[in-house]
Amino acid sequence: MAERIMMKGNEAFAEGAIKAGCHFFFGYPITPQNEIPEYMSRRMPEVGGTFIQAESEVSAINMVYGAGGAGARAMTSSSSPGVSLKQEGISYIAAAEVPCVIVNVARGGPGLGGLTPSQADYFQAVKGGGHGDYHMVVFAPASVQEIIDLMYEAFVTADKYRTPVMVLADGLLGQMMEPVVLRDWEDLQIPEKPWATTGMVSGKPQSVINSLGLAPEELENLNLRLQKKYRTIEENGVRYEEDGVEDAELIIVAYGTSARVSKSAIAKARAEGKKVGLFRPITLWPFPSKRLAELAEAGKRFMAVEMSAGQMIEDVKLAVNGKTEVEFYGRYNGAIPSVTEVYQAIIKSFDNREVQK
Amino acid sequence: MAKVTFNEERCKGCEICVSVCPKQIIHMADRFNSKGYRPAEVIEQDKCIGCAFCARMCPDVVIEVYK
Amino acid sequence: MKQVFGYPESLQTRPNHYCPGCTHGIIHRLVAEAIDELQVREKAIAVAPVGCAVLAYNYFNCDAQQAAHGRAPAVATGIKRALPDRIVFTYQGDGDLASIGMAEIVHAANRGENITVIFVNNAIYGMTGGQMAPTTLPGQKTTTSPYGRDTATTGYPIQVCEMLSTLKAPAFIARVSVHDPKNVLKAKEAIKKAFEYQVNGKGFTLVEVLSTCPTNWGMTPVEALKWLENNMIPAFPLGTFRSLEEVSK
């Protein structure tokens, strides 16, 4: 068993990536994720990897596109305004089917916003973000240990499906320290990539990494292929965690930091006999819609708790499809809901039910 | 003794080769190729000095030169 | 008889889509010849731009990645860092490199990335229909400077070679033209030297090639060559701006 050490969330993104075999990091400074490039600038030379502080987020994502296209495990990290700049590159990467990982340690927006944690980049992450019909797999860790584990999953998923993968956290997860176990992955094996642009050495046919489809049928074929891939990922790639949903009347749906806060609030409400559970999506895309639909079918009510004006709630509502109620509790951009606030929202929800009865 | 050959199907009829030939032996043909261009052709092959000016200036790699 | 001029191996046999008389075709061939002569075709990886040369991967007989508008030097950086023993080059137009991609080219040059940049300057946006480029000449009429480029409001043509030559890191920077056979030979020499530098790990190399756009300039191909010679060369002087050997202007 590897030893337990204290680690900051941002450092965990970096070390988690290196443990997952990523030797190429391209980034640009932006708070609250600066510890990632700083850590990488120190660590990459130690592992024989490459760190480049790019001239912009735009360049950084395009360096990832180049290195990923050449077959390497490559990543970039940023925070909300910087991730907006990367959208052009992410759209190209999704279309060209280049595996890579993008970390977003989100902060409050819109615009320059603030430096405090936020979950308001949900739409951007799961609905495409850039132009065109595409998705990327989005993982949402809720602890520093999970950051490390999901960084590994992210690179494996990216290679498996030849897709960009985002690990979406917020400034709180990036900045907090927790004990972690750093594992050496036994099955760390980067798959063969015959499609990569490694040169036409020894008769290898020409590899072209490209997203241009001038002929309508050519472009439609690309999109049909992408959609088929997305259905496969939806079928096999959904991840979530449940806590006390079986007997629950009300299920809190929350991810990342909101899920941690909700967990404490749920424990408090449970202690008072309120039948409330937690449903935590670990993949935001693909969203665990099927399971939520089953729970709705079983008559459960839902409450989305988010650090935004309400974004994930739309996917919850789509999953529930009008079968039961979906409530919302959120603090907008930059504010973290307290345990007491979420607890009170839970109690209020039960009280309202009593009045209706 | 030199020779130039023109791959007529690749020719887009831009006439750059005609303009650079020091012996002025390249002309535009009266016929069309399948793209609808009048291809360049050499009519007095024996005057060719094999300078390859035409080939070097051809944007479509139509011309091969033998010496 | 022996063949003295033929089809380069590093160029696919497929005919190009360029307009009749467009000198992109000449420049493609020169790049292919240089790659052939240095025997690095199997190691070559091209980065295609957005613009007329977007389909360059259909013409160069080597691996290729297509980059977003202006981002080719960043993409090339990623490829070269991942595969340092490969020969990585970008092929970019003036809108791509000197407008939307100015940050990428300046910083790739400043890092001394060991890549080769072929910068095709024809003073206009070709693919999108003849709009004003950062290299459009003063007074030149384009579809977005219908009264002629007004320097009072749109500035002056950007001299990329001169600008990049203020940086310390680049190893080779040259401007050449392809308006006549003599200059085509010189252009070939510069392009080959740039690739040779890369093969020897000398660092960042860029060759700016003055090129024509008969369609959007509204001229015949032969007139366009003359126009290039008479109008573009005075605005963009030919020469070697940076070299590890002697510098001649």
Q: List residues in chain A touching C: CB distance below 8 A.
A: 24, 26, 50, 52, 54-56, 58-60, 62-72, 74, 88-89, 92, 96, 197-202, 206-212
For A160, the enclosing helix (H) or strand (E) is: helix A144-161
Cα Rg for chain B, rounded, in angstroms?
11
Single pTM value for the model? 0.97
Domain with CATH 3.40.50.920 in chain A: 241-356
Average of per-residue pLDDT values in chain C: 97
C139 lies in which domain range? 24-247
pLDDT of res. C49: 98
pLDDT greater at residue B43 or residue C78: C78
Whether residue A216 is predicted with pLDDT greater than 90 in this model: the reply is yes
Smallest Cβ distance to A55: which of C44, C48, C103?
C103
Q: For C67-94, what is the mean pLDDT?
A: 98
Which of B14, B20, B48 is most worth mutating to test chain C (most C CB atoms within 10 A of its CB)? B14
Structural domain includes residue C8: no
Read off the pLDDT band of A3 (50, 70, 90).
confident
Structural domain includes residue C40: yes
Contact A54 C107 (CB under 8 A): yes
Residue type for C177, please? S
Whether residue A158 is predicted with pLDDT greater than 80 in this model: the reply is yes
Tally the domains of chain C. Answer: 1
Contact C221 B16 (CB under 8 A): yes
pLDDT of res. A336: 93
DSSP β-ladder status, C63-66 and C3-5: unpaired
Architecture per CATH, A241-356: 3-Layer(aba) Sandwich (3.40)
The whole-angstrom distance between C49's CA and the closest CA on chain B is 19
- Chain C residues with CB-CB distance to A209 below 8 A: 64-66
Cα first-last separation, chain B: 6
Q: DSSP assignment, residue A326?
A: E
pLDDT of res. A357: 67
Domain with CATH 3.40.50.970 in chain A: 4-236
Mind listing the pLDDT tens digit for each residue in A62-99?
999 999 999 999 999 999 999 999 999 999 999 999 99
Q: For A302-328, what is the mean pLDDT?
A: 98
Following DSSP, what letter does each residue of C198-232 receive, concatenated? HHTT---EEEEEE---HHHHTS-HHHHHHHIIIII
Q: Which domains does chain B have, with CATH numbers?
A: 3-62 (3.30.70.20)
What percent of chain C stands above pLDDT 70?
A: 98
Structural domain includes residue C7: no
Whether residue C249 is predicted with pLDDT greater than 60 in this model: the reply is no
DSSP β-ladder status, C205-210 and C116-121: parallel
Residue in chain A lying closest to C50 (CA):
A212
Q: For B6-27, what is the mean pLDDT?
A: 97
Read off the pLDDT band of A334 (50, 70, 90).
confident
What percent of chain A stands above pLDDT 90?
A: 94
C-alpha–C-alpha distance, residues B22 and A216, integer Å = 46
Structural domain includes residue C181: yes
Q: For C183-195, what is the mean pLDDT?
A: 98
Cα first-last separation, chain A: 54
Structural domain includes residue C5: no
Which of A23, A59, A211 is most worth mutating to test chain C (most C CB atoms within 10 A of its CB)? A59
Residue in chain C lying closest to A206 (CA):
C63
A243-248, Cβ contacts within 8 angstroms, sequence gap of 24 or more: A243/A277, A243/A278, A243/A280, A244/A270, A244/A276, A244/A277, A244/A278, A245/A277, A245/A278, A245/A279, A245/A295, A245/A300, A246/A277, A247/A275, A247/A277, A248/A275, A248/A276, A248/A277, A248/A300
Top-tier CATH class for A4-236: alpha beta
Whether residue C120 is predicted with pLDDT greater than 80 in this model: the reply is yes
CA nearest neighbour of C206 among C122, C88, C117, C106: C117
Q: For C203-211, what is the mean pLDDT?
A: 98
Read off the pLDDT band of C246 (50, 70, 90).
low
- Chain C residues with CB-CB distance to B3 below 8 A: 1
Chain C contact partners (≥3 CB pairs within 8 A): A, B
Whether residue A356 is predicted with pLDDT greater than 90 in this model: the reply is no
pLDDT greater at residue A355 or residue C93: C93
Contact A206 C45 (CB under 8 A): no
Predicted ipTM > 0.90: yes
Smallest Cβ distance to A56: which of C44, C45, C103?
C103
pLDDT of res. B66: 96
Average of per-residue pLDDT values in chain A: 96
pLDDT of res. A133: 96
Whether residue C101 is predicted with pLDDT greater than 90 in this model: the reply is yes
Interface check C180 vs A, CB under 8 A? no
Q: For A238-247, what is the mean pLDDT?
A: 98
- Chain C residues with CB-CB distance to A132 below 8 A: none
**Torsional sign, CA C206, C210, C214, C220:** negative
Whether residue C229 is predicted with pLDDT greater than 70 in this model: the reply is yes
For residue C240, the domain's CATH number is: 3.40.50.970
Chain B contact partners (≥3 CB pairs within 8 A): C
Whether residue A178 is predicted with pLDDT greater than 70 in this model: the reply is yes
- Chain A residues with CB-CB distance to C198 below 8 A: none
Chain A contact partners (≥3 CB pairs within 8 A): C
